[in-house]
Amino acid sequence: MDYLNNKFVKSLNKDLLDKTVICKDTVEEVKDFKCNTIDTSKYVRLLSINDFLNSKVDDKGTFMADEDSALWLNTHSNDLVWQINGNNLSLAESTRALSVKPVIKLKTGVALLSGKGSLEDPYIIEKDNNDIQVGDYITLGEDKWVVYEVSKKNIKLT
């Protein structure tokens, strides 16, 4: 989190970003997950359990990871950290070297300038647009992001 919010965020245009919501609760069981304690002071966070659960296309997969992916989540249990392990959630030691997918939140009024939302032709954004959908790709600066949630107030990217 220190690297993402003190170094990585400097490569982004913060004029387009809103501060994101980070759940600070300890989660022992996914089925009992509720977020009661949040942090809204950061621009960048890691994927959460809810992000993963909302990305499930069916019982077989998610658009956030492939079968070989191992990604850190921002959620932890008492002594381990939650991770995406292929198409599943599991707990891992915090000393493991896993990949991360940073998540940002776009401000209301960010618009599509060009692009088709694919990896080859990602969206270029700047002002206001209602055509962006979950699974589309967006370019911010030199980085490509995938849309994983769209609401009236914001677009969440990973």
pLDDT tens readout for residues 60-112: 677 777 788 888 888 888 889 999 888 888 899 988 888 888 888 888 778 77
CA distances 94 to 79, 149, 154, Å, are 9, 27, 31
Phi, psi of 50 (to 5 degrees): -60, -40
Pairing label, strands 88-92, 81-85: antiparallel
Question: pTM, whole model, 2 decimals?
Answer: 0.69
Q: What is the pLDDT of residue 32?
A: 73
The percentage of the chain sitting over the pLDDT mark of 70, rounded to a whole number, equals 94
